[in-house]
């Protein structure tokens, strides 16, 4: 009988969640939902020295914003609680002792000074990677080298110790990765990792194996940086007698800098002007503020769609996917092996597509909110019309105010480049007629306004191209924008006349030049 798919995302509360971590959570979530399985979140806080206040809440809020739903977590419980490793502390020692008793682990009593001396000796002997392993353990102070009665005495006197894994000296460790295929590592490249620290807390290596087994995790989808540790984890599953139920592994490719050289970091985002965290983060120790995608104006559905494509593709030309569509199409087999270059322009493109797909009444809400911040009121109908006109020209919700400001605030400055080229006495003559005849229009709408302008141009033997940009300048102060006749309809008759009169007065120098 097939096991229920159970995946886990296991972040450490050591600071804000990097978007690489969000992508890992997203892929886990997509697999869980695709297979009808469960998505678990476990907080891996065994290293209490690195704990950062607020980080756990940040993780929770980030996942909620992205639409990544959790079936079991520290916040909503589940059948395998608790879901914080620090709260599971009492259970790990028994497994470490089981390994010791079976001869797969041992007590090590070496002091920090003795460990440093060992590393220095190896460096002096030109050993490329000094480590505590099958060779060097024979020269150190541990239960493999000390007499049994001395080991017992040291333990009874509560002398500080760690428990290390006893890695075999000559063995090939094999692992089948769902993305990379078979991975083989010789045990001589694996050091005797610490499993239990002297403070009684497990290291990541032991704790995550024990927890994954007890929580019945079937698939471990995690970053490529954990691939070197995977053979060690295979040994732990074997030595604990759990190899038959060991989860399947998938190690995700790195998120690379925009130039493709190296892993994407916060420093890269700071330097190039884009966020690397889903939400804004304020460092509780330094007060340093890091920008977030949410606060920068990215929609959560656009952000997750963009993230999904950083390493995965559906094998078709389709790029826009709702969360339900991503779930339907997702497969681990379509995740690439090589690192994915980060492209903030693509993220912006996704945001633009999602904004344009929204109904005008929803987009109007962004504009109304921004107007309120500037003490400007408007009708919902007018806001909807403006949103409909502007949505092809914005990338973020906050752009509605920046791009549509002239609907509410008459220009006080004019684009000099347009004025010098397009503002002339012929254009002014047309605008004089236009503003004088606008009051006579029975129906003031875009079509009627355009018909009036065309009739004036025909009388004067001119083409619309000779005056349109100058008229736009008079009405909006800008050189480009949506359909000008529709802008005039929204602005209204009296305001349009007033703006044309002001422009004629302020730009008189160009008309007489």
Annotated binding-site positions for ATP:
266
Q: Is 147 left (phi over 0), alpha (psi -120 to 50) or beta?
A: beta
Residues of the binding site: 266
Two tokens, residue 279: 């939400």
Distances (CA, A) of 118 to 130, 140, 141, 146, 191: 8, 8, 11, 17, 14
Coil/strand/helix, residue 52: coil
Given the residues 263, 266, 382, 405, the one annotated as active site: 266
Two tokens, residue 230: 């995977």
Distances (CA, A) of 476 to 195, 330, 468, 502: 68, 47, 12, 12
| Short-list 196, 149, 189, 147, CA closest to 168 | 189
CA 25-7-76 angle, to 5 degrees, is: 80
| Short-list 304, 279, 314, CA closest to 293 | 279
Q: How many CB atoms lie within 10 A of CB 479?
A: 15
Which residue reads 């000796």 in tokens? 121
Q: Say if CB 180 and CB 338 are below 8 A apart.
A: no
Coil/strand/helix, residue 468: helix
DSSP state of 439: G
In DSSP terms, 459 is beta-bridged to none
| Short-list 29, 41, 34, 37, CA closest to 2 | 37
Q: Say if CB 411 and CB 472 are below 8 A apart.
A: no
Using CA atoms, how far apart are residues 237 and 231, in angstroms rounded to an integer? 10
In DSSP terms, 41 is beta-bridged to 9
Using CA atoms, how far apart are residues 332 and 318, in angstroms rounded to an integer? 18
Is 126 annotated in the active site? no
Q: Say if CB 93 and CB 161 are below 8 A apart.
A: no
Enzyme catalytic residues: 266
């Amino acid at each position: 009988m097939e096991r229920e798919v159970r995946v886990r995302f296991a972040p450490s509360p050591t600071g804000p969640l990097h978007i690489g971590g969000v992508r890992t959570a997203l892929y886990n979530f997509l697999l869980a939902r695709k297979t009808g399985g469960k998505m678990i979140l476990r907080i891996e806080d065994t290293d209490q020295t690195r704990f950062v206040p607020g980080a756990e809440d940040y993780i929770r809020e980030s996942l909620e914003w992205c639409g990544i739903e959790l079936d079991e977590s520290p916040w909503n419980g589940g059948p395998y609680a608790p879901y914080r490793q620090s709260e599971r502390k009492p259970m790990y020692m028994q497994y470490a002792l089981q390994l010791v008793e079976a001869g797969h682990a041992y007590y090590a009593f070496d002091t920090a000074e003795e460990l440093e001396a060992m590393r220095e000796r190896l460096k002096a002997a030109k050993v490329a990677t000094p480590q505590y392993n099958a060779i060097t353990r024979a020269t150190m102070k541990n239960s493999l080298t000390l007499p049994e009665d001395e080991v017992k005495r040291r333990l009874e006197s509560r002398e500080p110790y760690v428990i290390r894994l006893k890695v075999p000296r000559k063995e090939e460790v094999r692992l089948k990765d769902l993305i990379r295929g078979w991975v083989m590592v010789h045990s001589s490249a694996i050091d005797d990792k610490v499993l239990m620290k002297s403070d009684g807390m497990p290291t990541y290596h032991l704790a995550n194996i024990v927890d994954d087994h007890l929580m019945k995790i079937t698939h471990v989808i995690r970053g490529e940086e954990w691939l070197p540790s995977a053979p060690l984890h295979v040994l732990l599953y074997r030595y604990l007698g759990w190899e038959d139920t060991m989860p399947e592994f998938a190690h995700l490719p790195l998120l690379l800098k925009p130039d493709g050289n190296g892993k994407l970091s916060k420093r890269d985002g700071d330097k190039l002007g884009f966020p690397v965290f889903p939400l804004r983060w304020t460092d509780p120790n330094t007060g340093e503020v890091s920008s977030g995608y949410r606060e920068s104006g990215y929609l959560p559905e656009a952000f997750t769609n963009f993230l999904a494509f950083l390493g995965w593709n559906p094998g078709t030309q389709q790029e826009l996917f709702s969360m339900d569509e991503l779930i339907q199409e997702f497969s681990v087999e379509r995740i690439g092996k090589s690192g994915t270059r980060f492209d903030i322009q693509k993220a912006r493109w996704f945001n633009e597509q999602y904004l344009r797909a929204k109904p005008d009444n929803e987009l109007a809400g962004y504009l109304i909110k921004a107007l309120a911040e500037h003490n400007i009121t408007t009708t919902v109908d007018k806001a909807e019309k403006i949103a409909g006109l502007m949505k092809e020209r914005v990338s973020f919700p906050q752009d509605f105010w920046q791009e549509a400001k002239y609907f509410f605030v008459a220009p006080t400055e004019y684009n000099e480049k347009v004025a010098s080229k397009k503002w002339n006495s012929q254009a002014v003559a047309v605008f004089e007629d236009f503003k004088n005849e606008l009051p006579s229009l029975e129906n003031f709408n875009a079509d009627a306004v355009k018909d009036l302008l065309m009739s004036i141009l025909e009388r004067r033997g001119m083409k619309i191209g000779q005056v349109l940009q100058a008229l736009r300048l008079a009405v909006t102060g800008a050189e480009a924008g949506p359909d000008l006749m529709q802008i005039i309809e929204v602005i209204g008759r009296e305001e349009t006349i007033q703006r044309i009169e002001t422009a004629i007065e302020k730009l008189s120098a160009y008309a007489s030049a």
